Amino acid sequence: MTLVLVGAGGHAKTIVEMMTANGTPFTAYADPQPADWLDLPQVAEDAIPEGAAFVVGIGGVTPAALRGRLGVLDALCARGLAARDAIHPSAIVSASAALAAGAVVLAGAVIQPGAVIGRGAIVNTGAIVEHDSVVGEGAHIAPGAIVLGGCRIGACALIGAGAVVLPGGKVAPDALVPALSRAAA
């Protein structure tokens, strides 16, 4: 099966390492710029073969960038391509958690029982999503951030590195919870 990496910047490096560790290496990458660190054929995004699966390797550290990232995922899915979720082998994901298409869970992240990770969302290195929390589509839980039990994180919201969303907290779509801060219910 053809598996294409979409985007080849810094965030993509973690995705490539993760998928290789999972035994599902990429067969090509799509990025407007050549990536000298990748030993793969480069293809145009509109030339990804029909029936291919893909993982979005584009990062996003602002809600606007996360909207753009989600737009790339949606456009490729609309063409009939299959968005793969990507889970690092060192991540802990509860059997009762639900991950939607294109979700990315990086090294050392923990997803607890009853949690829902939306389409195209990123749970970054060492982040924790506690029980019964919902992370909206395209949202990014940055490295070391903690989303405590029963929270609702809106679409394309960014929970900054080391931030904590307190139990039952609600974060609006396209919101930014700054790094090292706390968000209350």
Q: What are the 10-residue block averages of pLDDT along the chain, 185 residues in total?
A: 94 96 96 96 95 96 98 97 96 98 98 98 98 98 98 98 98 97 81
Amino acid letter, residue 168: G
Query: CA-CA distance, 50 to 112, in Å (whole number)?
Result: 35
Write down the pLDDT at residue 122.
Answer: 98
Alpha helices in the chain (DSSP H): 10-21, 63-78
Residue with tokens 């009762």: 96
**Phi, psi (rounded to 5 degrees) for 159:** -100, 110
Smallest Cα–Cα separation from 143: which of 29, 61, 38, 78? 61
- Cβ neighbours for 159, distance < 8 A, ≥ 6 positions apart: 127, 139, 140, 141, 142, 145, 147, 153, 165, 171, 177, 183
Query: CA-CA distance, 36 to 46, in Å (whole number)?
Result: 21
**Predicted TM-score (pTM) of this structure:** 0.96
Query: CA-CA distance, 180 to 145, in Å (whole number)?
Result: 8
Write down the pLDDT at residue 17.
Answer: 95
User: What ranges do the domains of the chain cover?
Assistant: 3-83
From 11, 88, 131, 140, the catalytic residue: 131
Hey, what CATH class is 3-83 in? alpha beta
Query: CA-CA distance, 183 to 177, in Å (whole number)?
Result: 7
Strand 164-165 with 182-183, pairing: parallel
Q: Are 149 and 167 in contact (CB under 8 A)?
A: yes
Identify whether 140 is a catalytic site residue.
Answer: no
Write down the pLDDT at residue 1.
Answer: 73
Query: CA-CA distance, 151 to 62, in Å (whole number)?
Result: 20
